């Protein structure tokens, strides 16, 4: 997939394509339906399929106090968009100056002049441009004048309503990794580097890897069924992960992400990994003694082993 970091500089752009525009935070099942529609239509026309997105999220620039924690890193978003069959991702740097761009100018300068769009597919409730005055109707009128077609697609819904990034963030805030996985169409994943910790896990017989996460969004403190992809092994391993401040061991300790990998003893310090969340084992607890903590960890490990026997990793 071609990735263009700034379409307003002199760069080669995918012209004459089928285009969609949005933040695509999480690239969840609703987004995936849109991306599939774009890629399918582009193949029918023999044209490139193009996603126009923004970095950073507009609220991080305009109202940082209200900005959501992003579900994915930018790299994860790029990977998920590429996996949906899209040919090109055009990332518009979102600045305060850019936020003042009227919807009509955005259409004229980017969609028409720079991308020469053939068709545009967006959500039925799509809003864009300065003061959020750009609507689907305005986009359709501009398309009629400039010679490109515009279609609006409805939401993808389940029993809980429209699938949205907000619902995914709420599920992770509640520690509901199962619902997050259902809405995303895949497990929630955190990328990062394995760092050395205080080796407390090794001292009690359960050596753990400490993840220095790239992601902004952490699931609620607690213990989870997880897996870890270690690229140097070209494999994914089942593990059990604790997110929290380890209250039995420390007072007022910083939040850590520690994973015990089942049947694994290799040194992976400094390696980049992807940690994926499948379900919640229990809340974080304070135990009367280290012996009680060790006994509970042993039960968590056995519960994890049973979980992955019943739900094998692909």
User: For residue range 190-215, what is the model confidence (pLDDT) as tens digits?
Assistant: 999 998 765 555 555 578 899 999 99
SS3 content of the chain, % helix, strand, coil (to 5): 35, 25, 40
Q: Give me the residues paired with residue 44 across strands.
A: none
Residues 113 and 26 in one domain: yes
**171 in any annotated domain:** no
Q: By percentage, how much of the chain surpasses pLDDT 70?
A: 95
**282 in any annotated domain:** yes
Q: What is the dihedral of CA 291, 293, 294, 298, to 10 degrees?
A: 140
Least confident window among 56-60, 130-134, 173-177, 258-262: 130-134
Could you tell me the pLDDT band of residue 97, with boundaries at 50, 70 and 90?
A: very high
Residues 42 and 90 in one domain: yes
**59 in any annotated domain:** yes
The answer on pLDDT for 83 being more than 80 is yes
Range of the domain at 198: 185-310
Residues 122 and 9 in one domain: yes
Number of domains in the chain: 2
**169 in any annotated domain:** no
**For position 291, what pLDDT does the model report?**
87
What's the pLDDT tens digit per position in 289-299? Answer: 888 888 999 99
Residues 233 and 117 in one domain: no
Residues 205 and 95 in one domain: no
CATH assignment at residue 103: 3.40.50.620
The answer on pLDDT for 250 being more than 70 is no
Residues 197 and 149 in one domain: no
**145 in any annotated domain:** yes
Residues 122 and 11 in one domain: yes
**For position 314, what pLDDT does the model report?**
86
**For position 202, what pLDDT does the model report?**
57
Could you tell me the pLDDT band of residue 33, with boundaries at 50, 70 and 90?
A: very high
CATH assignment at residue 266: 2.40.30.30
Residues 90 and 210 in one domain: no
What's the pLDDT tens digit per position in 5-16? Answer: 999 988 899 999
The answer on pLDDT for 144 being more than 80 is yes
* Domain termination site, one of 100, 126, 161: 161
Residues 197 and 136 in one domain: no
Residues 104 and 222 in one domain: no
Least confident window among 46-50, 217-221, 242-246, 300-304: 242-246
Burial of 19 (0-12, 13-18, 19+ CB in 10 A): buried
**70 in any annotated domain:** yes
Residues 59 and 101 in one domain: yes
In the predicted model, what is the mean pLDDT of residues 234-250? Answer: 82
Residues 45 and 143 in one domain: yes
**168 in any annotated domain:** no
Report the C-alpha gap between 84 and 26 in whole angstroms: 13
**174 in any annotated domain:** no
Mean pLDDT (the chain) is 92
Report the C-alpha gap between 149 and 18 in whole angstroms: 9
Cα→Cα distances 31→2, 69, 127, Å: 19, 18, 16
**In sequence order, what are the residues at sequence separation of 6 or more whose Cβ sits closer than 8 angstroms to the Cβ of residue 302?**
none
In the predicted model, what is the mean pLDDT of residues 223-232? Answer: 96
Helices (H), the chain: 29-45, 58-62, 74-83, 96-99, 103-106, 136-146, 165-173, 177-184, 200-203, 290-310
Strand order in the sheet with 119-123: 2-4, 88-93, 49-55, 18-21, 119-123, 149-153
């Amino acid at each position: 997939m071609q990735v263009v970091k700034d379409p307003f500089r002199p760069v080669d752009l995918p012209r004459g394509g089928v285009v969609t525009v949005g933040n695509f935070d999480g690239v969840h099942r609703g987004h995936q339906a849109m991306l599939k529609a774009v890629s399918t239509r582009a193949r029918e026309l023999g044209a490139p399929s193009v996603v126009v997105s923004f970095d950073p999220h507009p609220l991080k620039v305009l109202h940082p106090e209200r900005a959501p924690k992003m579900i994915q890193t930018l790299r994860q978003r790029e990977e998920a968009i590429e996996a949906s069959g899209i040919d090109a991702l055009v990332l518009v740097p979102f600045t305060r100056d850019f936020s003042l761009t009227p919807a009509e100018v955005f259409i004229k300068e980017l969609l028409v002049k720079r991308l020469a769009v053939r068709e545009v597919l967006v959500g039925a409730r799509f809003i864009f441009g300065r003061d959020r005055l750009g609507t689907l109707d305005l986009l359709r009128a501009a398309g009629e004048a400039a010679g490109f077609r515009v279609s609006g697609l409805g939401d993808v819904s389940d029993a809980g309503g429209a699938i949205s990034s907000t619902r995914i963030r709420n599920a992770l805030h509640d520690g509901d990794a199962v619902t997050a996985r259902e809405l995303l169409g895949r497990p929630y994943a955190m990328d990062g580097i394995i760092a050395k910790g205080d080796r407390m896990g090794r001292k009690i017989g359960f050596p753990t890897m400490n993840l220095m996460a790239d992601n902004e969004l952490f699931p609620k403190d607690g213990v989870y069924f997880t897996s870890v992809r270690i690229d140097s092994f070209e494999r994914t391993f089942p593990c059990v992960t604790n997110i929290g401040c380890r209250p039995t061991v420390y007072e007022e300790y910083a939040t850590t992400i520690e994973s015990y990998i089942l049947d694994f003893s290799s040194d992976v310090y400094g390696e980049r990994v992807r940690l994926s969340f499948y379900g919640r084992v229990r809340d974080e607890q304070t135990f009367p003694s280290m012996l009680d903590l060790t006994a509970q960890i042993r039960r968590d490990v056995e519960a994890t082993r049973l979980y992955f026997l019943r739900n094998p990793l692909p």
